[in-house]
Structure 1
């Protein structure tokens, strides 16, 4: 896994000029972009306790998709959904709607306009809304949090259960209790999650990095996904199929350590800019 490159940084700076609004009055996310949910990696944001679903920005209703539809390029689990086209080649997607009676294709909509209600959860008056942002020019799924107003958040991410997995034999060595390690190549994995001030849900992070003796050697940026022929890549070249281990720990990439002293540091950052770092000092034999 490589550092995010200059071209990608330039692109991200450009798309951040286009701002969207939250599609729900309660910004209560239960899963976010890049987070592992069940057996899949989240491509958008799931907002809970949602009643009315609102348009995130001025645009035109591009497509109204009924639950039984199967639109190429979008997940079949969207249920009833509405797609709205915006400037800068962006499309916002609103899924899991109760009905599609409030909108029609090719009509202009303003930011904040109500396009439906979230499908109610059993025994409740509210439901969950799925929100996604797609860049049609570059054919990327974007992290919606980059384009949405920030949520008050002073909590740093949590890092735990970190291990170094030998590339040579696949054996996992728990960091923290380990004092010595043989030289060679290792894959660093860890359980990393974030919480915000307004809730206790364990959410995905925005970026994670691994440093060896102060130099960044691997990183996972959750800015965008590319999806082609059913294969997901993170950023520009990280294989989405190996992003998480079976136990949901994040694969942070490969490092190489040589004989002597090695300080391995894991750094996690959330969308609000809060950071947490954990350092593991080892003697390498």
Structure 2
């Protein structure tokens, strides 16, 4: 167990040593990595109001995707896309382009090089850019925000509508119910980030849960893996179908509440380091 944890931490440290540039001039994010997007989960960053698209880093042109024909390796929902791979096996994917003509002859790209223009070829909004990063050596998708430059964001994430649900499907609000029977409960909460006040709700970067100072859940939105049936956070520990099983809420885990005074703390963070903490104190009998 410790070996797997150490391997995962080394992997994340390795990834964080990378440095990419923003692929758009004004990064206005429409959807974040691992965010619930209708009936599916976003595997990308999606930028809004995009004109020119530039390379975030160096890469060799692996494949160009024509949105009209699709590909058996990449879903046609990407539309027109260009895919690059670097010497470490990291793929960068730029999708929803107006065309891929610029790479009919070019075989490589450098950071900042023009790749084309955003279009309406993919299954997404017009003038948006879908940007993915995949690690082919570890067969995972990576949150591109891990590589991006810091950006100013002073708006903290939001934590709302936290509930505990017992085996009898009884819904308890830990903010108003001060006495709870001991036992197992499913913990749900509506958690989202805002890039600006009044902006679109986005996925957080990390969520943690603690009981009486002991960390019992850690959900980093950093890496997505798959077993062919489901997507998982953090080395297949957290199923996204379970995480998003209730519309508009996140399943933060099944917790066992022993008798005594309980302080339940939920913490949400964004990539800029803004933190929101909600504390619930109640008695378990």
Give distance in 2, aligned partners of 1:110 and 1:199: 36
Q: Is 1:83–1:91's contact at 8 Å kept on the other side of the alignment?
A: yes
Deviations 1:215-245 (A, max 9, x none): 1111211110002324211111211211113
**Alignment-derived partner of residue 42 in structure 1:** 42
In the superposition, relative to structure 1, how do residues 73 and 147 fare at CA in structure 2: closer, same or farther (>3 Å)? farther
Gaps of 5+ in 1: none
Q: Is 1:67–1:79's contact at 8 Å kept on the other side of the alignment?
A: yes
Give distance in 1, aligned partners of 2:30 and 2:208: 24
Deviations 1:105-160 (A, max 9, x none): 77011111111111159xxxx70110000000000100000011121112211100
In the superposition, relative to structure 1, how do residues 275 and 72 fare at CA in structure 2: closer, same or farther (>3 Å)? farther
Aligned residues: 277
- Determine helix, strand or coil for the equivalent of 1:242: helix
Superposed counterparts of 1:90-109, under 5 Å: 90-104=90-104, 107-109=107-109
- Determine helix, strand or coil for the equivalent of 2:43: coil
Give distance in 1, aligned partners of 2:11 and 2:195: 27
In the superposition, relative to structure 1, how do residues 55 and 202 fare at CA in structure 2: closer, same or farther (>3 Å)? same
In the superposition, relative to structure 1, how do residues 230 and 81 fare at CA in structure 2: closer, same or farther (>3 Å)? farther
- Determine helix, strand or coil for the equivalent of 1:194: strand
* TM-score for the superposition, normalised by structure 1: 0.91
In the superposition, relative to structure 1, how do residues 185 and 74 fare at CA in structure 2: closer, same or farther (>3 Å)? farther
Deviations 1:151-185 (A, max 9, x none): 1112211100111122x223321231221111111
Residue 50 of structure 2 is aligned to residue 56 of structure 1: no
Give distance in 2, aligned partners of 1:214 and 1:74: 44
**Alignment-derived partner of residue 175 in structure 1:** 174
In the superposition, relative to structure 1, how do residues 187 and 78 fare at CA in structure 2: closer, same or farther (>3 Å)? same
Residue 252 of structure 2 is aligned to residue 263 of structure 1: no
- Determine helix, strand or coil for the equivalent of 1:119: coil
| Structure 1 stretches of 4+ moved >3 Å | 68-76
**Alignment-derived partner of residue 195 in structure 1:** 194
Give distance in 1, aligned partners of 2:200 and 2:19: 25
* TM-score for the superposition, normalised by structure 2: 0.91
**Alignment-derived partner of residue 16 in structure 1:** 16
Superposition CA RMSD, Å:
1.9
Give distance in 1, aligned partners of 2:224 and 2:106: 28
Residue 165 of structure 2 is aligned to residue 165 of structure 1: yes
Give distance in 1, aligned partners of 2:233 and 2:191: 17
In the superposition, relative to structure 1, how do residues 198 and 109 fare at CA in structure 2: closer, same or farther (>3 Å)? farther
Give distance in 2, aligned partners of 1:5 and 1:72: 34
Gaps of 5+ in 2: none
